């Protein structure tokens, strides 16, 4: 998939000015506030952000899983050309798990602790794949073994009857990926797929996602706060802060030539193994309160480049080339 | 400069006995034991930061706690400033604890939710107490400022603070007695990236200001490498390699260390680079492999490795490795 080709195709997923708000006791939390993202077929997109950035809520919204007190207030989410924000729960079930699959950070939360793995895999297969459903239990079992082996679970046949807690964290993450991929979705959304895992297992899981992505010609979204993961595994990167996108571009550009002060700040605050002598410069302060947002740049209080001109709502705008940035101080 | 290390750990092991059924215990005489830490010897010099890295089940946190006798070592000795900590009576231990403190990983679990910040930070002073109320208040005030919190925070409760702030409170509590040695057990792992950076910087500064010696335990190798002078690598309870930071990064000798360092995704590395991936999972500490514990996953394992466990030897001055390949 050449990068030039991507621009000529229509996006697989198109999020347009999405607003998802939560009505809490302390007020309305604008968790996602005007987020627009395009994802093309076969692409791998990194979504970077910290607590309160809205990165997880954005994709939970895509999956139609926002519950009270949260609500998608406005904006559209188009998947394969259709606006899925208008879908009924029934219509969503045809997409969720089948065309768009999502894995979560904590596999123990995603997997049912009181159901055997084989039954959890069967449930998904039967729900989404009528053909295999009609072929019966043996065919389903065979497919389940294939899937478990594909994701690197040793002795798969014997382990089908085990429960989630009998697997290690890394294995559970892989089982979750296996379940997510069981119906060969067009889009895999991996929410912090490596955060709870050991480094050597992280490498295995990311390698697995990369390989399967090529095999199935699948698009992947990796939501993470780990800039190393983004650098190595993604084609494009979106940086989110306090419910908005602050920077968006080719990964190479965002990492090697960051534009937004937050992105720059993040990159300057992480220790680099290849340059340990280099002092880190932390971003001062904390993310602002998402209730009662002042009408100014949301990064204002922590930005070392701030000026009086930043005391207004800042729009995102295109940069020369393929990127976008939400900052008035960057020359176009 | 005094040549005796501040901390000397000699052949320390920590075993945990797991519950067995009555039959297993009394008829089959089987006892399931987790050898969380096996025969570790190392020393830390005054003013040094020794980093301790390794993955799940390697025993790094257990070792940190065993050194402070928060877990009683099953075997071995720990010397602090030439005094044998492992042989101390409770009273003697209490005295030495002033000088040896710990910062915990979980900023949410390590603070008593029912006490105000002031009470939490003041408690170590009260326990070891000989100060007047005024003197204690002053010390609390001073340390609070040093860790970047404000006086008005003192009357508040833990739940009113963010993770990063709570970690600052934990640090204040650990440092108020002006210890000499601090075990830092994953102090930034539960924090957002930008807050991690703040706490890392704070810890580096406090180390200088208070002339501290750190044992810095973390699974985040970049963070450990940034703060440490030397790094020790653990696998399934054993020490597999120990060297100066730059030496370890440039010249890792143990196959596990090589794979571990290689597995870290690097920010400057745009696009995946081919790496050697370890097969399978880390074995259970309940049932560790025979011989070299790493042999089941080692890309270079020989026959000898499954039979005989290698010893930690010094190959290059200051660089010790435990591997048959060398």
Extents of the domains making up chain A? 3-99+185-325, 100-184
Q: What's the average model confidence in pLDDT over B99-124?
A: 92
Gap between the Cα atoms of A75 and A57, Å rounded: 14
Of the listed ranges A155-164, A264-273, B39-48, the least confidently predicted one is A155-164
DSSP state of A1: -
Q: Looking at residue A289, what is its pLDDT?
A: 86
Residue whose tokens read 């204690």: B136
Q: What's the average model confidence in pLDDT over B89-108?
A: 91
* The two domains A3-99+185-325 and A100-184 share their CATH topology (first three levels equal): yes
Q: Following DSSP, what letter does each residue of B38-97 receive, concatenated?
A: EEEEEEE-TT-EEEEE--TTS-HHHHHHHHTTSS--SEEEEEETTEEGGG--HHHHHHHH
pLDDT tens digits for range B121-138: 999 999 987 889 999 999
Q: Looking at residue A332, what is its pLDDT?
A: 54
Q: What's the average model confidence in pLDDT over A210-216?
A: 87
Q: Looking at residue A4, what is its pLDDT?
A: 47
Q: What's the average model confidence in pLDDT over B27-48?
A: 88
% of residues, chain A, pLDDT over 70: 97
List, edge to edge, every strand of the sheet that includes B312-316.
B100-103, B181-185, B213-217, B49-53, B230-235, B238-244, B319-322, B312-316
More confident residue, A146 or B19: A146
In this structure, the dihedral spanned by the alpha carbons of residues B298, B302, B305 and B310, taken in order and rounded to 10 degrees, is -90
Q: What's the average model confidence in pLDDT over A100-110?
A: 83
Gap between the Cα atoms of B313 and A278, Å rounded: 32
pLDDT tens digits for range B254-285: 999 999 999 999 898 888 778 888 876 778 77
- At a CB cut-off of 8 Å and minimum separation 6, what does A160 contact? A116, A117, A118, A121, A141, A144, A145, A148
Q: What's the average model confidence in pLDDT over B218-238?
A: 94
- Farthest CA pair distance, chain B: 68
More confident residue, B106 or B67: B67
Residue among B201, B266, B281 minimizing CB distance to A170? B281
Beta bridge partners of B102: B183
Beta bridge partners of A21: A71
Q: Looking at residue B1, what is its pLDDT?
A: 46
CB contact under 8 A, B222 and A206: no
Q: Looking at residue B38, what is its pLDDT?
A: 93
pLDDT tens digits for range B166-204: 999 999 999 999 999 999 999 988 888 899 999 999 999
- At a CB cut-off of 8 Å and minimum separation 6, what does B134 contact? none
Q: Sorting pLDDT into bands at 50, 70 and 90, what band is A106?
A: confident
CB contact under 8 A, B193 and A269: yes
The interaxial angle of helices A169-181 and A199-216, nearest 10 deg, is 10
User: Residues of A with CB below 8 A from B164's CB?
Assistant: 286
User: Residues of B with CB below 8 A from A199's CB?
Assistant: 55, 219, 221, 260, 263-264
Beta bridge partners of B214: B49, B182
Residue among A152, A256, A270 minimizing CB distance to B197? A270
CATH T-level topology, domain A3-99+185-325 = Rossmann fold (3.40.50)
In chain A, whose CA is at the least distance from the CA of B268?
A231
pLDDT tens digits for range A46-95: 999 998 899 999 999 999 999 989 999 999 999 999 999 989 998 998 88
Q: What's the average model confidence in pLDDT over A220-228?
A: 93
Q: Looking at residue B275, what is its pLDDT?
A: 84
Q: Looking at residue A5, what is its pLDDT?
A: 46
Q: Complex ipTM, two decimals? A: 0.86
B286 close to A (CB below 8 A):
no
CB contact under 8 A, B273 and A232: yes
B270 close to A (CB below 8 A):
yes
Beta bridge partners of B50: B215, B230
Please tell us whether the domain made up of A100-184 is placed in CATH 3.40.50.300.
Answer: yes
Q: What's the average model confidence in pLDDT over B51-78?
A: 93
pLDDT tens digits for range A172-184: 888 888 888 888 8
More confident residue, B320 or A199: B320
SS3 content of chain B, % helix, strand, coil (to 5): 35, 20, 45
Q: Report helix, strand or coil for A116.
A: coil
Contact criterion met (CB below 8 Å) for A312 and A268: no
Q: What's the average model confidence in pLDDT over B108-115?
A: 90
- At a CB cut-off of 8 Å and minimum separation 6, what does A163 contact? A113, A114, A115, A116, A117
Contact criterion met (CB below 8 Å) for A268 and A281: yes
Residue among A210, A265, A282 minimizing CB distance to B272? A210
Tell me the nearest-neighbour CA distance from A270 into chain B, angstroms.
Answer: 7
- At a CB cut-off of 8 Å and minimum separation 6, what does B323 contact? B240, B253, B254, B255, B292, B310
Contact criterion met (CB below 8 Å) for B245 and B225: yes
Q: Is the peptide bond before A69 cis (omega within 30 degrees of 0)?
A: yes
Domain ranges for chain B: 244-326
Q: Sorting pLDDT into bands at 50, 70 and 90, what band is B49?
A: very high
CB contact under 8 A, B222 and A267: no
Taking all residues of chain A, what is their mean pLDDT, rounded to a whole number?
Answer: 89
Gap between the Cα atoms of B65 and B74, Å rounded: 12
Contact criterion met (CB below 8 Å) for B302 and B326: no
Q: What's the average model confidence in pLDDT over A108-120?
A: 87
Q: Looking at residue A8, what is its pLDDT?
A: 60
B275 close to A (CB below 8 A):
yes
Q: What's the average model confidence in pLDDT over A190-200?
A: 84
Gap between the Cα atoms of A177 and B39, Å rounded: 38
pLDDT tens digits for range A11-59: 999 999 999 999 999 899 999 999 999 999 999 999 999 988 999 999 9
């Amino acid at each position: 998939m050449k990068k030039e080709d991507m621009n000529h195709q229509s996006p697989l997923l198109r999020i347009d000015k999405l607003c998802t708000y939560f009505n809490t006791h302390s007020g309305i939390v604008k968790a996602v506030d005007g987020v627009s993202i395009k994802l093309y077929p076969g692409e791998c997109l990194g979504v970077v952000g910290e607590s309160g950035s809205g990165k997880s809520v954005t994709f939970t919204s895509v999956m139609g899983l926002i519950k009270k007190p949260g609500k998608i207030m406005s904006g559209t989410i188009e998947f394969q050309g259709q606006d899925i924000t208008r879908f009924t729960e029934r219509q969503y079930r045809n997409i969720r798990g089948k065309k768009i699959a999502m894995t979560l950070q904590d596999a123990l939360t995603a997997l049912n602790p009181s159901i055997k793995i084989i039954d959890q895999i069967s449930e998904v297969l039967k729900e989404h794949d009528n053909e295999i459903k009609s072929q019966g239990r043996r065919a389903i079992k065979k497919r389940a073994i294939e899937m478990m082996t594909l994701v690197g679970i040793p002795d798969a046949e014997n382990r089908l009857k085990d429960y989630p807690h009998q697997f290690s964290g890394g294995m559970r993450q892989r089982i979750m990926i296996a379940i997510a991929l069981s119906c060969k979705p067009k889009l895999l959304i991996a929410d912090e797929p490596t955060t709870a895992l050991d480094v050597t297992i992280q490498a295995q899981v990311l390698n697995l996602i990369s390989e399967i992505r090529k095999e199935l010609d699948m698009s992947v979204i990796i939501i993470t706060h780990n800039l190393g993961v983004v650098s190595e595994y993604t084609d494009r990167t979106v940086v989110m802060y306090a419910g908005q996108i602050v920077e968006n571009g080719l990964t190479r550009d965002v990492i090697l030539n960051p534009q937004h002060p937050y992105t720059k700040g993040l990159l300057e605050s992480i220790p680099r193994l290849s340059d340990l002598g280099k002092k880190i410069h932390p971003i001062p302060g904390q993310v602002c309160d998402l209730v009662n947002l002042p009408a100014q740049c949301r990064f204002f209080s922590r930005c070392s480049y701030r000026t009086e001109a930043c005391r207004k709502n800042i729009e995102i705008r295109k940069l020369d080339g393929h990127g976008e940035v939400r900052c008035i101080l960057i020359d176009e | 400069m005094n040549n005796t290390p501040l901390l000397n750990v000699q052949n320390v092991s920590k075993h945990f006995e797991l519950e067995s059924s009555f039959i297993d215990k009394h008829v089959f005489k089987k006892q399931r034991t987790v050898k969380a830490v096996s025969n570790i010897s190392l020393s830390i010099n005054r003013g040094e930061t020794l980093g301790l890295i390794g993955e799940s089940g390697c025993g790094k946190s257990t070792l940190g706690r065993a050194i402070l006798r928060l877990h009683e070592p099953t075997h071995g000795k720990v010397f602090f400033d030439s005094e044998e900590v492992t042989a101390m009576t409770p009273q003697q231990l209490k005295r030495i604890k002033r000088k040896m403190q710990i910062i915990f990983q979980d900023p949410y679990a390590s603070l008593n939710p029912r006490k105000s910040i002031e009470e939490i930070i003041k408690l170590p002073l009260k326990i070891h107490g000989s100060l007047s109320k005024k003197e204690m208040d002053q010390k609390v005030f001073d340390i609070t400022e040093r860790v970047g919190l404000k006086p008005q925070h003192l009357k508040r409760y833990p739940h009113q603070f963010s993770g990063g702030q709570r970690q600052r409170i934990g640090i204040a509590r650990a440092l108020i007695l002006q210890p000499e040695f601090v075990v830092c057990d994953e102090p930034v792992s539960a924090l957002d990236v930008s807050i991690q950076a703040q706490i890392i910087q704070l810890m580096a500064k406090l180390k200088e200001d208070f002339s501290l010696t750190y044992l810095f335990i973390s699974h985040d190798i970049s963070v450990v490498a940034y703060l440490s002078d030397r790094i020790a690598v653990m696998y399934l309870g054993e020490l597999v390699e120990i060297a100066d930071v730059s030496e370890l990064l440039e010249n890792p000798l143990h196959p596990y260390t090589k794979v571990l360092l290689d597995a870290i995704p690097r920010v400057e590395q745009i696009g995946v680079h081919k790496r050697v991936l370890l097969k399978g999972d880390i074995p259970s500490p309940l049932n560790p492999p025979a011989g070299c514990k790493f042999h089941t996953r080692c890309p270079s394992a020989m026959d000898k490795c499954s039979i005989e466990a290698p010893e930690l030897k010094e190959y290059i001055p200051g660089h010790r490795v435990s591997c048959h390949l060398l």
